[in-house]
Structure formats: structure tokens, C-alpha cells
Structure 1
């Protein structure tokens, strides 16, 4: 329910939803406090409430009991107080508490699998925890615009980039840091931002760390083609080269990850291809795509699915059955969610060359309208029959009374097409039996 105009307090009663997995209410107008009861949700994986106004309230300590949580994002929520102890959340991948008024020190222990820590633009004090040097999967550590003191250890970035392909960004601008310990030489894929700290004053040895004034995240579409360069000749209209350099007609799908558990997608491209193609029961070579980060952060993708390549005699197009199957997998949300990639949304399914394929599931037998008519007719008949039987039973019972006046017994009136009334008298009492299509009942009136 994110990106709406929902206002008011988050209902504490939501903890009664034991199967709730993804709770996304970011970019609304929520106020009040964060309900501690949410920590009772036994299967919650994502809690994302960015850009709301919780009126200076604190993060409940009970949130440290969310043992299955993968992502906690409370950015720009007007929160105060300390950060809870999150050491009891062993699988936490993503933590964003930036742009609040949180104070005291940074928790000394976080999940060893964490990829993103953003605590920037708060009022945090103390030193940078030494345990951050052992977080091998960390992609981005942002602690800028706080009041941190002490030294910065270069071991935070030295051991995270062994293969030289993954990016690591360390943002520490505008704190009170005084020294850097260890080797200050930066690999090409590491960015460290330290300007605005005392250690940058008249220290020429740290010029490469102190000169940068910001990190610009690219929003360009990034291609993920993989297997070399295809021949120069072009494919016919509506056909493209697959990864096997084979001209084929792709299915085009616009797709978005609503709450991914990382800041840098490049290390996970192969994992994503494996996840998506396994969910669709196709080969990884049948998928090519571009991706682009959007506000949120959300990850938008343009997916292209190609017919399977089995040599030069392979089909250049999908058959109708395969087009229907792939579309139904997306539109029916039959691809399982991934803990790392989170929930997805389908933006568009472009059939392209396959636009004349009937992708609506056909149903044989009696039409829906006929079924509805039969059911309603059967219900009407059953109710009418039960009403008549009830009337006959009551009439028989009343005839058993020998004192009933023969002169005044037995007037049957039809008041309209839906209501029937039967009048009898017994010892100066008028008994009105009223029957309609919905409910037979008795009304007794004194004469």
C-alpha cells in the first residue's frame, strides 16, 4: 500500500496477520507511533515505512525480536531516540534509518550478511564500530552528517573487494573524525567520502579521500548482455539477437523490484537470472534485460525472453502455448518471491509479434451467465417450495382445532407477486401466515 495518501495511525491489530510477509506502507501520510505489536508478526521479512511522520516517537525495542526480518527501512520518518539492538536479527540484509533524529551510538553488532547500512543524517555519537570491518557482503555504509568521533579504519574497505568488480561506497562526510588508520590506497571500485571532518584539514596525504563531495547514483539503463559480439547483419523487424546471436522474436516484459535487499545490483545479476528463469522453467540463455534504479529505491527492468536455442534449426518464435504459459506465470504471480530480490510488480507485458495470440484462458462447457441463471433459479425454486410446504403444514395444524369458526376460516390472499398471506382465525385471534421468497414467518394479531 505504498505511494498513496493513507493517513492516521498504523493499527496495532495488524499483528493478528500471522502470514504477513511484506509490509510496505512507505510514502504515505501516516502519523502517531510505531506499534510495538508488529514485532509479533512471526513471518515478517520486509518492514518498509519510509517518508511518513511518526511525530518524534522512538523505534520500539521489541523490533529487535523480528528474527526473520530481511529489510528494515524507516527513512525520513521523524523518529527520535536510540537505535535498538539489532544483533538478534541474524539475516538482516538492508538497514535504512537515515534522515531521522536518532541519537546515541551505533549498534556494535549487525548481521554478517548485511549489504546496506544507511544511518546518515541523524544525531548519532560515539565511534564507528570495529565490527563493520568484518562485514564481507557490505556494499554501502553511509554514516554522513552525524557527530561521530575517533578514527576510521581502512579495514572497512580493504577486505571487501577481492575480485575487483563489486562496488563499495563509504560515506562519512560531516562528522568529527580525526584520523584514518591503515592503508589509505583505494582500489578503483571503492569510493570513500570524508570531507567535512577534522582529519581533512591541512592533511595532504588524505587528499584522495577528502576531495570528493558526493556520490552520484547512475539512473541510466544498464545492459546485461553477456556472450560476446554478434555479427553485424541486422535481424528482421520485430526480431532481435538472443544471447546466442540467433535472430528471434522476444517477449517484452516491463518489471520492477519493489524492495530489493541491496544497493548494487551488479554482483547479483547472475543470481537474478537464475532465480527468474528457474521460476519460469526456461534456460538462462533465454533471458536478456536492462535495468535502472528508480526512487524508493526500486529497480526497474526491461526483460526480453527469447525462444530456446537448439542450433540453427531452432524456431525463431515461441509457439502459442508457451506465450500463454509465460504470460500466465507473470500475471498470476506464480513466480515465487525471493528473499534477496523481494516482491515484484508487473508494469507491462508487450506481446510484440505475438499480439494476435489469444492469451485469455478459454473455458469449455456452460457459460458463466448460464451457470449463474441456473443457480439463482434453483435457489428461487427451493425457497418457494419450502415456503409452500411450510404453509401446508401450518394449515393442516390449524385444521386440527375443532373450535375454529367454519364461517370465518380460509381466506387466501395474494398481495403481490412476491408476498403471499393466508388468514385464519382461532378463538378471536387472527393468525396471518406471510410467505415471501426469502423467509416464511408468522404474525399474530389480536382481533
Structure 2
């Protein structure tokens, strides 16, 4: 490995870590504000530790969603394609590793340039999403025949520009979600959330918020989001376990009773969500005040664009409603694709949780309960149909013969 490649590899490792990006930005902001040393230290570590906590909760959720997805596929005999970021990442890194890292670094630099010199004042801090997008850009541009510096420059320009522009597109919706807190959506699934907010504005009223649902006294324990999430997910896990059968579930449970395994899976999922909420509170407590230094001294009116999970505490009931309705939309989309002869897109529980929950939050902000339900449902349909359209565009019949599709290959 030469020196240049080693430097790029190190920068890629640093810049693809959202925790470190948040910490760096908080540090710069606090220094710009000339905060005392102890406040710089605590204000820098707060967002870093908060994001690590958020990531730990997200990893816990993903780990517990994996067996649920397998039980659903087995129990309901679903076969098809599960869209997966990691597949593109692995391919791009293997074939175009240096180009991908160069696009990432150039894109992050250009994002700051765009924020400083254009009206799009958004600094994209979700490093792992920037890394995913850099991999996608290198793969797509490479497939068109581009290579070398041209691929890097065009890919980096698109990454930097979209990192600044995409939060701006729906910032009016984001401000409704946060009730005026100056943060933006730093996630490349944002168009789905803005669509959900637009749909919500057409079907409901924001004052009918999911967070204002009138719950009778005997059911008041459901106001505790962790308990409500645990009960909801235990139901999901038990239905999936019963459908899959105890023999199959036993292959996943490591010797534990299949139905006890399902119950524990639902409860662990709820704990993962609670950890995410705790991490988000740590991030916001230090990041927003520190970012004022950047907005005042370095990039006038700069706004931090952060991960979708940061928005979960703003409407915790909408998180679960959004997940459930998005997943239902994904299932219905899969059934429709089956009827029309398209490639089956199996609803991935991870994207339907994180993206569906966020769509529910945005739909709720503009349309209350109806907005959360219908907006996230539309998001679920999009998560089914858009990958199918891309597969058909690039691989014809999903890359498979009609006979293979009948066989589920």
C-alpha cells in the first residue's frame, strides 16, 4: 500500500464514522465560540458518545430483526430479493476502492464549500451514508465507462452537491417535526420522508398528532414508549414464530424455547429503541449549542444535517405506527409485483423500521395520525417498487428468467 492510498484509507475510516464527524464539528464550533477548555472537552465527547450509543441501539435492533425476517420468510414462504446496501458497498470497495475513497473525501470537502458559498447551508454529518453513496456513485459511474480522475470529480461533485441540497428540499417539513429546532435531515432516504410529509398534509391535520392519542386510564401504561414497543414487537415475533413453526425457530434460538425466544426478541427490540433515544438526547444536548459557533464564525447560518434516528424522540408513537404501516405497504407492494410478474422485493425489516418510522414521524408532523399511517404506507410501497424498477432497468427481468422467478431463484 503506497502512502497516498494509506492516507485515503485513514481519511475514509475517519470520515465514514458519524460519531467522529459529529465530534469534530462540535469541537470546531466550541473553539470558534472560544469556550473554556473543559466545555470543549465535554461538548466534543458528548456527541461522540451519544452517537456511539445510538449506533449500539441500532445494532441491537438490527441483530434482533434478523431472526424475525427469517421467520417471516419461512412462515409465509416468501422468496425474492432483499435490497441491501452492503452488497453495493462490498462490490464497489473490491473493484473501485481508491476511487470510492476519493469520491468520499472530495464529496465531504465540497459539501462544506457548497454550505459556505451557496444558499444551501447544510453540513451533512451522517458519514456512513456518505460512504454508501460514494460506493453507489463509483459503481454506477464505473458501469457507464468512466474511470480515473473523471469518475472521482463527477462522483465527488454529485455527493457534495446532494449532501447540501437534499436536506434543503424538505427543511420546511423537518422544522415541523422538530418544532423549530435547527437541525436538518442528513439521510439519503429523505425524499421518502418528504413524500410522506406531503401526503400527510393532504390527508390529515397536524393537531391530531399520534402523540395526543387519548388512552383510557387502564391502558395508560402504553404511554411508556418502551413498554408499548415491547408489546407490539412481541406480537409480531410470536405471529412470525407460530407461522414458521417451532422446528425452524429452534434452529435460530440456540436451544431456547421457540416461543420464549420470540418473546425475548420483541423485548430486546424495545430495549434497542430505548438505547437509541438515550443516544439521541446526548447528541442534541451538545451538538446544537456547539454548532452555533460554526453558524456564527465559519459558515454563516450553517445547519447540521443528522441521521434519521435522531428524529425518533420527537414523535415516539409515530415511530411504531410508521414501522408497521411501512412494512404493510412493503408486503402489499411485494404481492402486487408478484401479480404483475415483477421481481419480488422482500420487505427488509431494517429499512422498513428506520425509514418507515421516520416517514411516520414526518407524516404525523403535517397530517397527524392519518398522515403517519398513510404517509408511511406510501413509503413502504416506494421501498418495494423503486428497487424493482431499478432491477428491471439494469437487468431486464430482474436478472432472472421467468422460470427462475417461478422457482424463487
What's the TM-score bracket when you normalise by the shorter of the two chains? under 0.3
Greater strand content: 1
More helix by share: 2
TM-score (norm 2): 0.22
TM-score (norm 1): 0.20
